[in-house]
Structure 1
Amino acid sequence: MKAFSLDEDQIARVVGAAAADELSRRFNRHADFLTIASWTQNTPLGRGGLALDEAEKDACARRAATFFGLKADYLSARPAEKIADWAHELAAALRARLDAFSFKPAARGDGDVAFTHRADAIYQDAAAAANVLAGRRRLLSFVAPHSLLGFELSVLTPNLLGVEAVDARGMTPDELSKNLLFGDVLVATPTLWRYMMQEELQAPDNSLAVSFGEPMTPELAVEMRKSGFGVLREMYGSTETGLIAWRDNPGEAFILFDHWRRDGDDLIRLCPDGEARHVDAMDLLAWSGERSFTLSGRRDGAVQIGAVNVFPDAVAETLRAHPHILDCRIVVGRRSDGAARLIANIVLSEKTPPNERTARDIDVWCRVNLRQQERPQIYNFEIETGA
């Protein structure tokens, strides 16, 4: 089935994005957004490219293989100098067999946990997304393709629709404004949409905006419509569950895709092989009918910042390891545009002054020990005065 086949360029984009994520998780190596977007088939794995040492190269090779349901050591014995070499080997393997995909959730607390899904279930999700995005001329994606929803929406869905897929991650908002055409669909997370709205992205008539990964706020939706996007689609799902539902406006209820059913407070997935599988949603669902619901907060206490699940208690525990911090409590605030942000309420040691220098010192420490989305944006200081 050609619609479900992956070419080497698509595989290479996934490999590059997955490698960036693996380097961040395992080796605390962080590349900027535009650098990662520039990694193509021709990018070297060593000097002048990803600059991988042997340990990093092995970790990235294992991540690439397991993403496509292969044994972790599948690429280990195969010589490779460029991303294209891995993509070529993977493409050959996938032509013979592709029956699973494996995705890691975007949360530091999950360590090396990955969730494996049957390939037919991932294709089922992509087909559902294609049904609500039909009639578009091109699909442009501003998201990395290694996450479950990123892969389904930016790679598989345009394949199913038979439309051109454009990797827009390397474009500036000004370049996007010039490249968007009548009838296009652009995929991004709300954090990226806020950035594009701040940079005054303009869209032509009949453009469709797709978001996922964190809640869409009414304020952001208004700005997106003002910029020219006549239609919005917000997708709901997770790495653990797959794609579940969609809606047009933040104030509306989500609507289940056809392969989902309500099961009391939870869900039943109707799998392609005929199995009806019970699934625990990652959020508390407030049902307004048999096929519609709104979200009532995460079950696990996570908050979504920049499409990444962040655990405030875990962030506070990490901050308590700083030599000048006796105690810390993390709360979630909202910026004027509705975006979530972390606020750190910190009790400093008795001899540590609550000044700008202390704040800078803690911020530098956070950049080493926390991922970007986990870093507090506001520090409130108290001083421990002793007994």
Structure 2
Amino acid sequence: MQGFELSETTLLEVIKALVADELKALRPETAQDIFPEDWDKHTSIHPLPADSKQASLQADSLEKLALATRVTDFFQIRESGLEDYLLRHKTLGQWAELVAEARKRGTRNITFYTSGSTGQPKACPQEWQSLVTEAEYFRQVFTQKLQQPIQRILALSPCQHIYGFLFSALLPDLLDVPVIRGTRAFSWVQSRNLQAGDLVIGFPFIWKQISRSQQPFPAGVVGITSTGPCDPQIIQQLQQQGLSHLLEIYGSSETGGLGWREQTDQPFELLPRWQAVEGRDDVLLDLVSRQQQPLNDQFHWQDNHHFYPAGRLDQALQVAGINVFPARIAEQLRQLPQVQEVAVRLMSPAEGERLKAFVILADPQQSESELRQQLQTWCQQNLKTAERPQAFTFGNQLPRNSLGKASDWSLQTSNLTPTE
């Protein structure tokens, strides 16, 4: 669809998500108090007097510079020459107007960011028309599954990442349908305040929470999940609760969507934009640019149009839909004077969905409870939420199996004897 453009209302929602994400990184100790759902176009970016009735982000000069940079980079505003005006404008609504003007001047591509193997943000620019084409393709898939046009979108994923952007920003504007976001959307889904024609945008962690409810789904609702593998048992549970269709979408910030499937025991169907490369399982051919695109996962091909992901190439794991790198986190913890050695890995399904750490104390005489508190405080101050180990286990040697390889450990014991 040539000429299609985002509305200012949607631009404001994306800007709110970007600003909230950046503020949470800048203010980790008060991140839980940042609620973008309470913001609107009149929300001030500058500090306001305490008695002001206008909502404000209370951003100081350095914070405002960081926020403006985040929005500038995402929408590639520098190409329009308007980026300096962000620092002059005072409200989120004015920022949305400026982004709309920049896009009218031709700066339409989007740059998403993801964490690379070093944990540093990696810029992933995407052509605007490729994003629109992908949204249009999935519109047809969803409509076929619903057997009717999409009527409404409930967005449980933030829209500053490519997955949320495609399906809770671009797609609803493409279809001209309403969007319900955030905690309100979650509440509606949990209470099954849904109707035929609803599309629910989620990710594995949030679908697990939804699956715990005993409320049945009404007929004619389609859910989608992405950002990481979804437990087949969770999908089965949701289907038993009456969810008509739950589609898994596979892709990344670097590539956009690559494939989709509905049955967890079936391969992903490759999107039309991509083509397998003879003899290679770590790249795809982009039929638009005619360039080979490196992949984050290796693929096992069933045929030229269907594949199974076969493990990450960059050692990243998914926590609540966010890439984390346990080796990098362990290296950071290893620099602390209280820590002699440490291993970090994902909890088992029975333990939870977060990271855990096994620690060898530098001083065997130090109290474990005291060190646990010190480590928790350090993680709170220095790591992002998804990166923080939620359980610390202590021992005198790292867990190894009978072959001497690193192994898992139980949270229920002191783990002085490693588990297989």
Is the Cα–Cα contact under 8 Å of residues 287 and 294 in structure 1 kept in the other structure?
yes
Aligned identity (percent) is 25
The one-letter amino acid paired with 1:209 is G
**Map of 1:100 onto structure 2:** 109
Shift of 1:359: 1.7
Q: How does 1:121-200 map to 2 (within 5 A)?
A: 121-134=130-143, 135-160=149-174, 162-171=175-184, 173-176=186-189, 177=191, 179-199=193-213
2:342 to 313, 319, 328: 328
Which deviates further from its counterpart, 32-41 or 60-69? Answer: 32-41
- Measured at CA, do residues 202 and 2 of structure 1 come closer, stay the same or move farther in structure 2, by a change above 3 Å? farther
Q: How does 1:183-262 map to 2 (within 5 A)?
A: 183-199=197-213, 202-262=216-276
Q: Secondary structure at the match of 2:347?
A: strand
**Map of 2:287 onto structure 1:** 270
**Map of 1:355 onto structure 2:** 368
Shift of 1:167: 3.0
**Map of 1:89 onto structure 2:** 98
Deviations 1:18-75 (A, max 9, x none): 1222234456466339713333323221344322111111111122122122218733
Partners of 2:211 and 2:267 in 1: how far apart? 25
Is the Cα–Cα contact under 8 Å of residues 119 and 328 in structure 2 kept in the other structure?
no
Partners of 1:172 and 1:133 in 2: how far apart? 19
**Map of 1:60 onto structure 2:** 67
Which deviates further from its counterpart, 183-192 or 172-181? Answer: 172-181
Shift of 1:178: 5.2
**Map of 1:292 onto structure 2:** 306
**Map of 1:6 onto structure 2:** 6
1:75 to 75, 83, 89: 83
Q: Secondary structure at the match of 1:50?
A: coil
**Larger Cα-atom Rg:** 2
The one-letter amino acid paired with 2:127 is R
Q: Secondary structure at the match of 2:244?
A: strand
Segments of 5+ residues of structure 1 without an aligned counterpart are none
Is the Cα–Cα contact under 8 Å of residues 138 and 183 in structure 1 kept in the other structure?
yes
Q: Secondary structure at the match of 2:247?
A: strand
- Measured at CA, do residues 139 and 106 of structure 1 come closer, stay the same or move farther in structure 2, by a change above 3 Å? farther
Partners of 1:200 and 1:353 in 2: how far apart? 46
RMSD of aligned alpha carbons: 2.5
Is the Cα–Cα contact under 8 Å of residues 108 and 371 in structure 1 kept in the other structure?
no
**Map of 1:35 onto structure 2:** 35
Which deviates further from its counterpart, 207-216 or 137-146? Answer: 137-146
Partners of 2:276 and 2:22 in 1: how far apart? 35
Partners of 1:299 and 1:33 in 2: how far apart? 36
Segments of 5+ residues of structure 2 without an aligned counterpart are 48-54, 144-148, 398-420
The one-letter amino acid paired with 1:31 is A
**Map of 1:367 onto structure 2:** 380
